[in-house]
Amino acid sequence: MEESKKIIFSGIQPSGELTIGNYLGAIKNWVKLQDEFDCFFCVVDLHAITVRQEPKLLRQRTLELLAIYIAAGIDPEKNTLFIQSHVPAHSEAAWLLNCYTYFGELGRMTQFKDKSKRFGDNIAAGLFDYPVLMAADILLYQADLVPVGVDQKQHLELTRDIAERFNKLYSPTFKVPDGYIPENGAKIMDLQDPSKKMSKSADNANGFILIMDSPDVIRKKISRAVTDSLGAVKFSDEQPGVKNLMSILSTVTGMSYSDIEKKYEGQGYAGFKNDVAEALVEELTPIQNRVNELLKDKAYLETIYKAGAEKANYISQKTLRKMQKKIGFIPLSK
């Protein structure tokens, strides 16, 4: 029965071209969860403006991200796909929750500390505040589970703290959500510096592979990926580059680490790298073709995000009204 399914909420920012880190750490996982759960997958454009965005590019990337969700296999009939700015309750709930979140808590967020270092003097208040908006996203839908990569764990813990605080201060209002971090692919590392997370905003483009990279670019970037001089395909912390390529291969093909080790035993890296590249090409090419088709059919994408916004508005308004009532605001109508 539809009603008894647990609820999932997750989102990605349309703030740049998506990498295989976003795909393997987030989207590929969502595809597996869609039958078992009632899922809300959001294009979080309000989050994207925490750093400056070019309006035309933001519009393009927002639609492209929606197309990627669908092309990767998320069924828009079964799940609620929507664009965050179409649902005003997110901004409103974020303001309310701001008043139940402490400055000190936000100051401890490592992603803020990292990003603020990178952006120097031009740090928007929104960048500091962004985990509260993320908490609002999740809590408005009474989500049970939030599938994300490892880097979002701290934000999820904050979401739980805010929910518990509000519930305790008034009365149970929010479901306290759990994170859902995949065993495999939760942290794909930079191909040039495997001590760093693969990120679309890295300076060296050889460090990341984009979902929309062409087969030749994928092959070139994998062949240039940093490994080591040991020459053995082994899943070991002493070989972070090889370990990262193994985790990419395993997440894409489903092969276990021990099977990968056996297959390439005594062979060096050339054939292994070649197979990693081909596995990625095979995985991504059909997605890319479908994204390009979908982007030609803007009317279809519009029907999807309109239907998604309608459902998301209905559900989020219910929680927002509950919050307002508990806080002590006078309802405009009963």
Please list the active-site residues.
Answer: 115, 197, 200
222 binds ligand LTN (CB under 6 A): no
138 binds ligand LTN (CB under 6 A): yes
Tell me whether residue 40 or residue 269 sits nearer to ligand LTN (CB atom).
40
| DSSP line for 89-106 | HHHHHHHHHHTTS-HHHH
17 binds ligand ATP (CB under 6 A): no
Q: Minimal distance in Å, beta carbon 251 to ligand ATP?
A: 9
Neighbours of 307 (CB within 10 A): 15
* Tokens 């990419």, located at residue: 248
280 binds ligand ATP (CB under 6 A): no
Yes or no: say if 279 and 253 are a contact pair by the CB < 8 Å rule: yes
Complete edge-to-edge strand list for the sheet that includes strand 38-43: 80-83, 38-43, 7-12, 145-147, 178-180
186 binds ligand ATP (CB under 6 A): yes
Tell me whether residue 112 or residue 272 sits nearer to ligand LTN (CB atom).
112
User: HEC profile for 21-70?
Assistant: HHHHHHHHHHHHHCCCCEEEEEECHHHHCCCCCCHHHHHHHHHHHHHHHH
Task: Show the site string, 141-160: x = touches ligand LTN by CB under 6 A, - = not.
Answer: -----x-x---x--x-----
137 binds ligand LTN (CB under 6 A): yes
- Distance, in Å, from the CA atom of 229 to the CA atom of 216, rounded to the nearest integer, reads 25
Q: Minimal distance in Å, beta carbon 163 to ligand LTN?
A: 13
Contact with ligand LTN (CB under 6 A) among 24, 44, 127, 279: 44
Tell me whether residue 211 or residue 323 sits nearer to ligand ATP (CB atom).
211
Extract the tokens encoding 120. 């120097």
Q: Minimal distance in Å, beta carbon 237 to ligand LTN?
A: 25
197 binds ligand ATP (CB under 6 A): yes
Tell me whether residue 181 or residue 279 sits nearer to ligand LTN (CB atom).
181
Yes or no: say if 184 and 61 are a contact pair by the CB < 8 Å rule: no
- Distance, in Å, from the CA atom of 192 to the CA atom of 208, rounded to the nearest integer, reads 8
22 binds ligand ATP (CB under 6 A): yes
Q: Quick one: which of 89, 71, 63 has its CA closest to 9?
A: 89
Q: How many residues bind ligand ATP (CB under 6 A)?
A: 20
Q: Minimal distance in Å, beta carbon 265 to ligand LTN?
A: 37
Extract the tokens encoding 202. 């890295």
Neighbours of 118 (CB within 10 A): 9
Q: Quick one: which of 2, 45, 73 has its CA closest to 290?
A: 73
101 binds ligand LTN (CB under 6 A): no
**Stretch of 122-130, 131-139, 144-152, 214-222 contacting ligand ATP, by CB under 6 A:** 144-152
Tell me whether residue 64 or residue 137 sits nearer to ligand LTN (CB atom).
137
Q: Which residues bind ligand LTN (CB under 6 A)?
A: 9-11, 13, 44, 47, 134, 137-138, 146, 148, 152, 155
Q: Which residues bind ligand ATP (CB under 6 A)?
A: 12-13, 15-16, 21-22, 25-26, 148-149, 151-152, 186-188, 197-201
